[in-house]
Structure 1
């Protein structure tokens, strides 16, 4: 397993929610400090709480600015397309078309980062699927990597694992973090006051991992995984009563059918790449 990893060039970070960037702080920082652009795209919005939505967006803008991200490269697409938090699985087609525009405009993307396929939050898995499929269709030469956030693999309810990569997702590639930046990232995790309740549960697990492990892992994505449950046993979003895997899988298959119909010039490419729905 490599002990150091960095893929040069402009990078696209596809995220579900403001604050999901905590799982890839180091990759964002390295992209910017290497002189390339980190393009950050959020695919949902807190539509049910407009005041909180504005605060969450401002918090992520501030955190990302501290990492050197150009404000023009922070895109709240979920807000523009009116995709509510926790409802991305019901808006996959809308999100797909939004991503098409981004890939058409951004022709220099060499790397795409997505949340891991891990069954933690269904929005995270939806972003993963969208990112993997969009990259194969519109940026086939780009490398795509996944980073873990949280999941419930082999751990009893109501507990969960944080920053825990699943072996089923393939090769682990270590991203080392200097001690100075570990402390910095722990501090940044405290800069989301609108999500205080969430971070009360996350930070006690995130902080020790960052501080003592000194690295996190990314993994290459694999399209074939989209047609497998992220892991055996109940998924975290199923345990919480948010969604069932069967509904998620059905919506994903519907999206793939639409992609085949709508992508005129790449229908053959999609047929070769994506298993039948």
Structure 2
């Protein structure tokens, strides 16, 4: 009897001393993404309170920027096809594996979303480049009245983009229903003309309709299940005491620099007189931009914004006029929240817009600048 107990005790002690079996990290459902050849892309991998991230498996050229927690990749022509990227995410309760199923393909279709006629100026160089290199480009203006739309139509015709590829929504973007109609119009384009990339104004509190164009584009992309890359560009803001023209507010996403040739710069300058209804604004842009600013266009993958919070510290462009002060910002914040309450299917947009860091930290978050390969070797000019 004692011998049996002794054997039992020894066996139990051996079990207690045996090394614990390591638990396999939990693998989260794979996310599908589409990136284009020679186009810098970025994906946020560390969110929802994640404390750390590590790259487990990835194609050549993929880099993980641990802080703020994004992967960046500019796939080459030889990398076209299907790829898998695996990232380990630690949220304080053990590591989880996040997998991205990436399709790399040649860039074929591009959609630009604007609020007004003349909002195309900050990104004109990319638009012209896409037209020159044979990409299928579509543009939509959400607010434009007929007169202003005709100005954009004339300018687009001059760069080689015909009227049948230009669209307008005719919304004021000042009510929940007008946001819904604008989002529906973008959604229809995404379904009729599935683009590889979408460009939109950034959230910067320079003009409330610019911000709402950004919101509507994101909402439509979410409802569509868009898997391509969303990019944003700056119009005007007061970050750092401004004023800043065509400038991106510092955020977690890397900026991308596209350098245009002098012929493209001169072409853009020649378009300015077409925008007669916006003569004061376009003339100011023409006078205020330095030669370096005219040659370099900056854009980036869409950062995560919270429309109930100011995008930067200090005075907003909204507040330059004494009669508006905080009124415009408060209305924008309330309008977006009213929209999300009215259309519960868009509630997931909150996750897309939620900032990972408070605005005062955005001031010191200046991530790397990527170079757009398309601007390294310019296409032959006519």
TM-score after normalising by structure 2: 0.59
Would you say how many aligned residue pairs link Structure 1 and Structure 2?
249
In structure 1, the residue matched to 2:215 is 129
- Contact 1:109 1:139 survives alignment (8 Å): no
- CA deviation digits over 1:105-148, x for unaligned, max 9? 22x21100001111111111111111122212214212100011
Higher Rg of the two aligned structures: 2
- Secondary structure class of the residue paired with 2:315: coil
2:237 to 132, 151, 154: 151
**Within 5 A, what are the aligned runs for 1:36-115?**
36-46=135-145, 53-54=146-147, 56-78=148-170, 83-84=171-172, 87=174, 91-106=178-193, 108-115=194-201
Give me the whole-angstrom Cα distance separating, in 2, the residues matched to 1:60 and 1:174.
25
Gaps of 5+ in 1: 47-52
1:87 shift after superposition: 3.7
1:173 to 256, 260, 277: 256
Give me the whole-angstrom Cα distance separating, in 2, the residues matched to 1:251 and 1:18.
23
Give me the whole-angstrom Cα distance separating, in 1, the residues matched to 2:187 and 2:320.
33
Give me the whole-angstrom Cα distance separating, in 2, the residues matched to 1:190 and 1:207.
19
Give runs of ≥4 in structure 1 deviating > 6 Å: none
**Within 5 A, what are the aligned runs for 1:143-222?**
143-155=229-241, 160-168=243-251, 170-206=253-289, 208-211=291-294, 214-222=295-303
Determine which structure has the larger strand proportion and give its number.
Answer: 2
In structure 2, the residue matched to 1:49 is none
Q: CA RMSD in A?
A: 2.6
Gaps of 5+ in 2: 1-37, 41-105, 355-382
Give me the whole-angstrom Cα distance separating, in 2, the residues matched to 1:34 and 1:14.
20
Determine which structure has the larger helix proportion and give its number.
Answer: 1
TM-score after normalising by structure 1: 0.80
Give me the whole-angstrom Cα distance separating, in 2, the residues matched to 1:139 and 1:18.
28
